[in-house]
Structure 1
Amino acid sequence: MSFIGNIIWLIFGGLATFFGYLTSGFLLCCTIIGIPWGIQCFKLSFLALLPFGKKIRIKEGSPGCLSTLMNIIWFFIGGIWIALTHLGFGLLLAITIIGIPFAKQHFKLMSLALTPFGREVYE
């Protein structure tokens, strides 16, 4: 299921989402201050490329004070808008039975878009 789901995901918007996050990551990494947020955009881009079969977890050990601060900055600068976009697409896809697996992937991307610092993607 994950192979077929990833292929369908790529055809119907996953590739565009990947390039959007990748471009944002490169633009953020052009500045020294934006490098931590650019790295998180890269994390989102690779999850948006092939989301089926991947999971998100909090990194082992406590994330710490710095990642909490970075998540707060991320949230107010743009994370809330990214998360709301994924929420909207997820709700739209959840209307049909065929779209439910794709809605779940948008909800997964939404949770990572809210707080990317201190989280990791694994298979």
Structure 2
Amino acid sequence: MRLILNLIWLVLCGFWMAVGYAVAGVICCILIITIPWGLASFRIANYALWPFGRTVVDRPTAGAASLIGNIIWIVFAGIWLAVGHVVTGIALCVTIIGIPLGIANFKLIPVSLMPLGKVIVPLP
């Protein structure tokens, strides 16, 4: 079932969300100081391509630097990516088949707002 959901997700919205994260990652990697945000954006792009069967958990060693970095991320990129997830999630929830995909889109909003200090792990 996860494979079918991931394939439908990839066609309907996963590719475009991953492109958005990749663009944010490239922009962040242009400057040396913003490379951590770029790397986090690339990790989330990978997750946005194939979300079913994986989840996001907090990294236990994340500290104050991650919190400050997440605040900066929210201001410059996170809010726009979260708006993209909200719009796409609402559009997917219009149909019965798209409801699981819309819910998955809504689950991506917290990680799109605060990517630092998070780890993407497979579900058992």
8 Å Cα contact 1:58-1:119 kept in structure 2: yes
Provide structure 1 residue ranges, at least 5 long, that are not aligned to the other structure: none
The size of the alignment, in residue pairs, is 122
Equivalent-residue separation in structure 2 for 1:16 and 1:83 (angstroms): 13
**Superposition deviation, residue 73 in structure 1:** 0.3
Equivalent-residue separation in structure 1 for 2:91 and 2:23 (angstroms): 26
For 1:78-117, list aligned pairs within 5 A.
78-117=77-116
Q: Return the TM-score normalized by structure 2.
A: 0.88
**Superposition deviation, residue 18 in structure 1:** 2.0
Residue by residue, what CA displacement relative to the aligned partner does 1:8-65 show, whole Å, maximum 9, x if unpaired? Answer: 112223223223322331332122022011011101100111011111111124x211
**Superposition deviation, residue 92 in structure 1:** 2.3
The code of the aligned residue for 1:26 comes to: V
Quote the residue 1:60 is aligned against.
60
Quote the residue 1:33 is aligned against.
33
Provide structure 2 residue ranges, at least 5 long, that are not aligned to the other structure: none
Equivalent-residue separation in structure 2 for 1:24 and 1:109 (angstroms): 16
Q: CA RMSD in A?
A: 1.5
**Superposition deviation, residue 104 in structure 1:** 1.7
The code of the aligned residue for 2:109 comes to: M
Runs (4+) of structure 1 exceeding 6 A deviation are none
